[in-house]
Amino acid sequence: MAEGRDVQWIEVTEGQDGQRVDNFLMTRIKGAPRALIYRIVRKGEVRVNKKRVKPDTRLATGDLVRIPPLKLSPREAVREVSDNLRNLLAGSVLVEGRDWLVINKPSGLAVHGGSGVKIGLIEALRQVREDLDFLELVHRLDRDTSGCLLLAKSRPALLALNTSLKQQQMDKRYLALVAGRWPARRDFVAARLDRYTLANGERRVRVDAEGKVARTRFAVHEAFPKVSLLEAEPVTGRTHQIRVHAAHAGHPLLGDDKYGTRESQQLAARLGLSRLFLHAESLAFPEPTSGREVRIRAPLPDDLESVLTRAREAL
């Protein structure tokens, strides 16, 4: 049967070698939600070398991928990037290498869409950077966390950076403002963490002896009478690790609506803090091709600098 005029056959490039079919399609079909991608793959509308595939099928250089014509309804389409978000992201690139880039992620922007989020940073960047055939997150940041976020622009770079992450060759440092005076003698918090889900579907994390091993290094960066500015270095990379470990130590992060206390909420209000005080200040990693160390810093956002100024004057 002859193919329709709008059917595309895309050849997989060397930089896309090893990429999953679903991620390949997310990059090629602008505005398509992941649920739709899964549906057209499951129905056999997507073919690789004329054969049916699964969403997690890995592609190889030279493969021909059949992409059917799609008309997305407004309800199911990923929201288009607004001019404000486009300009914000364009101005948020801290450093860009040949096959990677580091974004200074704004607070309040989820790293990916889903669970009621129509568009996340990765979907928005794929629309903004139409020159890239490949763009994937190397790691994640919580929605309310700002700062250094690393992305890969090729499959080999993604694999190399993921290996560096797993082998703890990646150095990530955060600034966190916590309630109370953090004891200078406490350098590490080592407490196993377990993920669970509330009745409303919200994901949370708690300290649990049966949970996964988790360790965070803390150092006092600046001390105030009622709050402490800490440098936090997650040795492991568990969800909400810094936030839960700080709360477990009796010093929850200011602005934390999940793990905070009444005292921490009152302190946040007193300082005019309207969001989580957690900022990924620096990131260091081996460059995927050369192996040389890349070290990048993201300046503290103005709103958090203002909170520190008020803390120095009022507390």
Helix, strand, coil proportions of the chain in percent (round to 5)? Answer: 25, 30, 45
What pLDDT digit, counting tens, does each position of 143-177 carry? 999 999 999 999 899 999 999 999 999 999 999 99
Helix axes 21-28, 121-128, angle to 10 degrees: 50
Model pLDDT, residue 34: 79
Alpha carbons 152 and 161: distance in angstroms, whole number: 8
Alpha helix segments (H runs only) across 18-97: 21-28, 34-42, 83-90
What pLDDT digit, counting tens, does each position of 277-289 carry? 999 999 999 999 9
CB 103 within 8 A of CB 112: no
Model pLDDT, residue 189: 96
Alpha carbons 266 and 176: distance in angstroms, whole number: 17
- Residues 6 or more apart whose Cβ sits within 8 Å of residue 257: 276
Sequence ranges of the domains in the chain: 3-71, 83-165, 170-314
- Kindly report the CATH number that applies to the domain delimited by 83-165: 3.30.2350.10
Residue in this structure with the two tokens 């903004």, named with its chain if needed: 128
Largest Cα span, the chain: 76
Residues forming the active site: 142
Model pLDDT, residue 1: 38
Per-residue tokens: 34 = 């992941």
Model pLDDT, residue 315: 64
What are phi and psi for residue 250, nearest 5 degrees?
Answer: 90, 15
Fold of 170-314: Pseudouridine synthase (3.30.2350)
Model pLDDT, residue 241: 97
Residues in the chain predicted with pLDDT less than 70, given as ranges, are: 1-5, 30-31, 71-79, 114-118, 315
Collapsed DSSP state (helix, strand, coil) of residue 270: helix
The CATH class of the 3-71 domain is alpha beta
pTM of the model: 0.80
Does this chain's domain 3-71 share its CATH topology with 83-165?
no
Long-range contact pairs involving 160-168 (C-beta distance under 8 Å, separation at least 24):
160/286, 160/288, 161/100, 161/285, 161/288, 162/138, 164/285, 164/286, 165/138, 165/139, 165/237, 168/235
